[in-house]
Amino acid sequence: MYPLKRNRRLRTNEAIRSLVRETILSPNDFLVPLFVVEGKGVRQEIASMPNYYRFSLDILEKEVKELWAMGLKSVLLFAMIPEHLKDNKGKEALNPKGLMQRAIKTVKNACPEMLVMTDVAFDPYSSYGHDGIVEDGEIVNDDSVEILTGMSLSHAEAGADFVAPSDMMDGRILSIREALEDEGYTNTGIMAYSAKYASAFYGPFRDALDSAPGFGDKKTYQMDYANRFEAIKETEMDIDEGADIVMIKPGLCYLDIVREIKNEVDVPVAVYQVSGEYAMVKAAAEKGWLDHDAVMMEQLVAIKRAGANIIASYFARDAVKLLG
């Protein structure tokens, strides 16, 4: 007796495999994180993120034109703030002539159709490296939300299409949405980092922006990675408060959460494959222990297969080059 049903028939060669393939990556899937710094002609490699750079605005201009030509149409901006401009209240975050605000304008001038999203959190602006105001060693919620709201308005005014609050304070989506409506920014969207876990995978990012917390950790606002139900609660609340897109972060270790949220909600789901995930692949590949491109593609397809409609990834450029 031989089996009548042979699953291997559908795996015989690349033609049949590609005919029945369920998940296909395209440049449309990606959101490209970009780090900006002050200066001119600056293209600094980030030590713990090989082949990833901080750009000054003149170089950023070239970079986004290249991305656009490759079919990458959305960017997520992060600004590296010089130490002397940091304080407890993230005052510089509200500066209409601040680096982030100028970066938004630079991208829009260079490439008007490029979708510009901005990270809204004040850890890069905070002398404590926290995402909120510190009082007596604690991160206070409501006063921080006020500043995050001002920051969002400032980004909208500079021309951001979407603001992406990554701070995990309670109630910030509602506050930001109301302020945007009140000020007439009705078309400015919100991509909420909804299920953002307190993760050790953010290490290289904090090197990139010099934004590591000066004391303690972020466990009183970012989520405990042992939790599942909480992720759904956070996401549903953000949608109720007015989020257009929700995000889960990090990626690979959290694909169970991605699928669960994808099954629950009716808004687009974004996944952030974070700096530590990028660094791990680069390091193993440098040692010759893993095949860089193969592992990269496997991870990105897995993220999409799990339910991501949007993938924020430092691999966006490499992956799209490989897609051809």
φ/ψ (deg, to 5) at 128? -95, -5
Using rule CB under 6 A, residue 131 touches ligand PBG: yes
Instruction: Residue 272: name the closest of 244, 307, 247 by CA.
Output: 247
Q: What is the CA radius of gyration of the chain?
A: 20
Would residue 282 show up in a list of annotated catalytic residues for this protein? no
φ/ψ (deg, to 5) at 248? -115, 140
Describe the crossing of helices 292-306 and 255-264 by its angle, rounded to 10 degrees: 30
Judged by CB under 6 A, the residue of 121, 148, 153, 258 near ligand PBG is 121
Q: Which of 89, 196, 218, 304 is catalytic?
A: 196
Q: Which of 89, 249, 282, 304 is catalytic?
A: 249
CA atoms within 13 A on the CB side of 287: 7
Q: Taking the complex as a whole, how short is the minimal distance between the CB of residue 3 and ligand PBG, in angstroms?
A: 46
Would residue 262 show up in a list of annotated catalytic residues for this protein? no
CA distances from 124 to 2, 9, 81 (A): 64, 54, 6
Q: Would you say 194 or 275 has its CB closer to ligand PBG?
A: 275
The dihedral built from the CA positions of residue 12, 18, 21 and 25, taken in this order, carries a sign that is positive
Residue owning tokens 């959190």: 121
Write out the E strands in 174-268.
189-196, 245-249
Question: Going residue by residue from 253 to 292, which x/- string records binding to ligand PBG, judged by CB under 6 A?
Answer: ---------------------xx-----------------
Q: Taking the complex as a whole, how short is the minimal distance between the CB of residue 312 and ligand PBG, in angstroms?
A: 8
Part of the chain binding ligand PBG (CB under 6 A), chosen from 88-96, 104-112, 115-123, 289-297: 115-123
Q: Which of residues 168-227 bind ligand PBG (CB under 6 A)?
A: 202, 205-206, 218
Part of the chain binding ligand PBG (CB under 6 A), chosen from 4-12, 119-127, 178-186, 255-263: 119-127
Q: Would you say 274 or 308 has its CB closer to ligand PBG?
A: 274
CB closest to ligand PBG, residue no: 205
Residue 223, strand partner residues:
197
Q: Which of the residues are catalytic?
A: 196, 249
For ligand PBG, the binding residues (CB under 6 A) are: 119, 121, 123, 131, 166-167, 202, 205-206, 218, 274-275
